Structure 1
């Protein structure tokens, strides 16, 4: 008798629950509580003395690459960055501990969002074994204590489906918009300028930027609709969307510069065919 279990897709996730998705009370509750999970301050000015903004960007880029390589759920990276920002807003941290903190935050986020979470041993390998599993587990308790075990933070991904179901566009276009919006959200999470923004504004701006990039917008009417869905000020939404688009352009420029330095013999067109951790080249603005 053959006892081998041969599931085709053991990582299949549950489909969205229409009872939650089509109940406006869920969106209202998300909007009500989202600011509870923002960092308490712009911590580079009042808390951190040893850590600089460029260091945060470096560790965020590393965290994103780990999540991409491990094929983590889209929610893991933004949630991990939420933990990192909230911790840094209350605890002065040495720069030599920043990568360890990033690994711990990914560890916690994957436990909350993944069917099979990242292991401590695997995360230590991604640090070139500069940290030990026991050290990561010890810091896990420290981070949990400083976050008061409040891990179910609201992130921009929580708003995406609620926004898309109210956008009057074909379903096949919504799939592409979702993918692009998720890329924008990841880019925003790497940029400290967005750390204090409400998740609903980042989500709405990301959807708006995706629609604009795909040339599916019909002028200000769609922007007004997006702003209405999440009770966002129209001018603030436009400013956020422009800032998100600027982050994308800057990210593309940095990738091209890095690849030209490592492959000086290649043309710009050849470099543009390369893949990046965030798939930003799939987006045409």
Structure 2
């Protein structure tokens, strides 16, 4: 009798270990390590002369769209943005290399977090073939060298489950809150003003914004016992006022994003590309060539 190995297109992930979220030492270790992976200065003022904040946002939006198109794990995009910010905080970079840097960061993050890493060929296609596979491989070594091979960075997503585990939220609400929180975290990663916030603060602010946006706190006031903000601040050892400021900034960013989506600008050039076998590959709508204007 012959044995066949049948591989599924979907990848099965390990179930969450409840012991990780019950042990306080895990959360404390994350809080101790998170500052090591945060840029220590606002690099647009001190390091980058050719790159502006709006350019970073264009490339970040493109990177997010690539992750969505390729159905990457939710961990890939925040980690890739962490690599990009740390590199820009250390190395003056010309704007013509910004999309190449973004593609390299996606490649590295997918190798660390995804079951199936992004292919260099597809990344080149998503750039409308403005970069080559050889450039990706060369810059991969450059980024690894500049980041000193310290790639296991702590991101806001690492804190989400720890925070939700400590909140008195019914099980049937957790999935929705988790999804909204992940969306807020991705949105924050596209905006440079959140670069200096610790990952734990962005995570708690995102959870707070998700709960308030779904109006769960008012409906379940007796369950909270005291204010949600105080509970979140206690979980991550954050000052309440600092956390409030972060949450308000997240909510304002969401409002601005929704307003922009209602008045989309026409974009050309990066909408579709073709693979060598002439099959149409759906690509991202963001035209990163705007960076060079």
TM-score, length-normalised on structure 2? 0.86
CA RMSD of aligned residues (A): 1.8
More contact order relative to length (CA 8 Å, sep ≥ 6): 2
Tell me by how many angstroms 1:10 deviates.
3.9
Match of 1:98 in 2: 98
Please list, as runs of the form range in 1=range in 2, the aligned pairs for 1:262-281 lying within 5 A after superposition.
Answer: none
Tell me by how many angstroms 1:148 deviates.
0.2
Write the distance in 2 (CA, Å) between the matches of 1:86 and 1:104: 13
The CA deviation string for residues 232-285 of structure 1, in whole angstroms up to 9 with x for no partner, is: 1111111111110111111111111007x69xxxxxxxxxxxxx99xxxxxxxx
Match of 1:265 in 2: none
The CA deviation string for residues 165-206 of structure 1, in whole angstroms up to 9 with x for no partner, is: 011011110110000000000000000000010000000000
Match of 2:170 in 1: 170
Match of 1:254 in 2: 260
Write the distance in 2 (CA, Å) between the matches of 1:22 and 1:121: 42
Please list, as runs of the form range in 1=range in 2, the aligned pairs for 1:182-221 lying within 5 A after superposition.
Answer: 182-218=182-218, 221=227
Match of 1:272 in 2: none
Write the distance in 1 (CA, Å) between the matches of 2:21 and 2:119: 32
Match of 1:81 in 2: 81
Write the distance in 1 (CA, Å) between the matches of 2:65 and 2:10: 24
Write the distance in 2 (CA, Å) between the matches of 1:168 and 1:188: 25
Query: Partner of 1:257: helix, strand, or coil?
Result: coil
Write the distance in 2 (CA, Å) between the matches of 1:138 and 1:105: 13
Match of 1:55 in 2: 55
Match of 2:179 in 1: 179
Match of 2:251 among 245, 251, 254: 245
Structure 2: 5+ residue stretches without partners: 268-283, 286-293
Query: Partner of 2:232: helix, strand, or coil?
Result: helix
1:108 equivalent in alignment to 2:108: yes
Match of 1:226 in 2: 232
Segment of structure 1 superposing worse, 12-21 or 90-99? 12-21
Tell me by how many angstroms 1:8 deviates.
5.2
Q: 1:8 to 1:104 in 2, by over 3 A?
A: closer
Tell me by how many angstroms 1:55 deviates.
0.2
1:123 equivalent in alignment to 2:123: yes
Number of residue pairs the alignment of both structures matches: 263
Segment of structure 1 superposing worse, 104-113 or 14-23? 14-23
The 4+ residue runs of structure 1 with deviation greater than 3 A are 1-10
Match of 1:158 in 2: 158
TM-score, length-normalised on structure 1? 0.88
Query: Partner of 1:72: helix, strand, or coil?
Result: coil
Tell me by how many angstroms 1:222 deviates.
1.4
Write the distance in 1 (CA, Å) between the matches of 2:197 and 2:2: 55
Write the distance in 2 (CA, Å) between the matches of 1:251 and 1:90: 29
Tell me by how many angstroms 1:228 deviates.
0.4
Query: Partner of 2:92: helix, strand, or coil?
Result: coil
Match of 1:283 in 2: none
Write the distance in 2 (CA, Å) between the matches of 1:56 and 1:255: 18
Query: Partner of 2:217: helix, strand, or coil?
Result: coil
Write the distance in 1 (CA, Å) between the matches of 2:61 and 2:112: 21
Tell me by how many angstroms 1:19 deviates.
2.4
